[in-house]
Amino acid sequence: MSNQINNSTKNKKNSYITRNKIASLTNTTVQALRYYEKKNLMSPEYIADNGYHYYSEEILSKVNLIVRLKSLGLDIEKIKCFFSLGSTESSYSLLVKCREDKERELLKIQKQLKKINRFLKNID
């Protein structure tokens, strides 16, 4: 009987991947993956007796998308929203809004740079 349980656990381990493997395959850190899990962006398929978290291989595309969205400047809450929207049209609208926010930020920074440059000219 215990042999069946051990074989079942061994088979599970072979068909799932660990956080360490996900981190190396997605160029992120285990700490980031723990954070994503804490924020309910991902969850393990099962947790072994030793505490290791095992995930299906489908999680790789989701983690890659999370990393990409973060690189675009989306915070975790917006990323959660992105995944909860469900439709391409809604996701598109969210990204357009994020782009508009970044454009406003850029304009603000450009204005600040002009002020700094004027101030520097007055110092000379």
Give the pLDDT confidence score for residue 85 in this predicted structure: 84
The answer to whether residues 59 and 23 touch, using CB atoms and an 8 Å cutoff, is: no
- pTM of the shown model: 0.74
Confidence of residue 7 (pLDDT cuts 50, 70, 90): very low
pLDDT at 53 over 80: yes
Looking at the fold, whether 99 and 122 belong to one and the same domain comes out as yes
Cβ burial of 43 (10 Å; 0-12, 13-18, 19+) is exposed
Task: Looking at the structure, tell me whether residues 62 and 102 fall in a common domain.
Answer: no
Span 56-84, mean pLDDT? 92
Claim to verify: residue 44 and residue 9 sit in the same structural domain: yes
Query: Nearest CA to 40 among 72, 83, 70?
Result: 83
Query: How high is the pLDDT of residue 88?
Result: 82
When pLDDT is cut at 50, 70 and 90, the band that residue 90 belongs to is confident
Residue 107 is part of which domain span? 86-124
Domain identity same for 64 and 9: yes
Domain count, the chain: 2
